Amino acid sequence: MSMSMRHIEVFHAIMRTGSVTGAARLLNVSQPAVSTVIKHCETRLRIRLFTRVGGRLQPTPEAEAIFPDIAAIYGRLDAVGRLVQDLAGGRLGTLSIAAAFPIANGYLARAVAEFIADRPRARVALQSLTSPEVIDRVVNREVELGIAYEPVVNAEVETSVLVSSSVACVMRDTHPLAAQPEIELGQLEPYSIITYLPRSLLRGQVDRALSESGIAPHIKVQVGLSLTGMMLAYHGAGIALVEPFLLESIPLPGLVARPLKPRVELKTLLIRGKSAPRSTLMDAFVAHLRRNLEAHKY
């Protein structure tokens, strides 16, 4: 009870074009051939995929449920096609990196810019993603290097610590707590808090620190990205408990970051496929990135 590649191809063509005629034209085959394949598919799956209403082909709810996953497969195939074109045309080099959003848009962007400035023939593909997506790209060998926050639990990758940091309080410089060099967790209780959504990897670490300190914070807003939390803090929505690297890389006038006490530790990891080959250029970049972070005292 599974779809063959031919079933998937014909089903996708019908869903895209809305008709057997359109699918046949798209696939450069006859209409009877398309009808035969889709009937065989329905028989094999034991479900109806299409019905005729007023002479027009209509997808069933089952077909609508299947289509997003099949469309995603074709999206990935299109991406592979573009990648092959870029490689053939010399437009894509050997550095391929995926990083969590605050990292990719903060110190990593600066490090990449400085690295390629000295290497005019180098090319970089840099993806800004969630941490789970970063791991997925490394496992599937779509990128050579991933950079994301711990924890990373996957038998197909190996990790090393790039830099250790901590969650900080990001707030307006006019906030009552902004004048302090560091902020005790207990001092947050009277204030509105902005922090990550429950599904975020970093949210668990924030909640654990607050719980261990006996704090019941007034969480006013939950966000998916550190930058969103910072912008909310900028507009006065409260104190953002987020990873502060992006603020250090892209300063926002009137916004400050203060460390928490006790610290809510974060480790940023370099992630590589265990059996994946390592390029000399990527090793040189990793060394450059470490020097860059040390020079800027991260």
Measure the CA–CA gap between 87 and 83, rounded to whole angstroms. 6
Residue 260 has pLDDT above 70, yes or no: yes
**Residue % of the chain over a pLDDT of 70:** 95
The tens digit of pLDDT for each residue in 51-78 reads 988 778 889 999 999 999 998 888 888 8
Domain count within the chain: 3
Given 63, 88, 113, the domain boundary residue is 88
User: 28 by DSSP, 3-state: which?
Assistant: coil
Both 145 and 176 in one domain: the answer is no
In the predicted model, what is the mean pLDDT of the chain?
87
The tens digit of pLDDT for each residue in 106-146 reads 899 999 999 888 777 778 889 998 888 999 999 999 999 99
Neighbouring residues of 63: CB distance < 8 A, sequence distance ≥ 6: 11, 15, 49, 50
- Model pLDDT, residue 291: 93
**Helix crossing, 5-17 with 31-45: angle to 10°?**
120
The tens digit of pLDDT for each residue in 88-107 reads 543 445 789 999 988 998 89
- Model pLDDT, residue 252: 83
Higher pLDDT pick, 27 / 211:
27
Both 201 and 142 in one domain: the answer is no
Buried b (16+ CB within 10 A) or exposed e, 219-246: bebbbebbbbbbbbbbeebbbbbbbbbb
Q: Are 201 and 149 in contact (CB under 8 A)?
A: yes
What range defines the domain where residue 153 resides? 95-163+267-295
CATH of the domain at 53: 1.10.10.10
Give the DSSP letter string of 104-161: HTTHHHHHHHHHHHT-TT--EEEEEE-HHHHHHHHHTTS-SEEEEESP---TTEEEEE
Both 195 and 250 in one domain: the answer is yes
Both 116 and 197 in one domain: the answer is no
- Model pLDDT, residue 91: 42
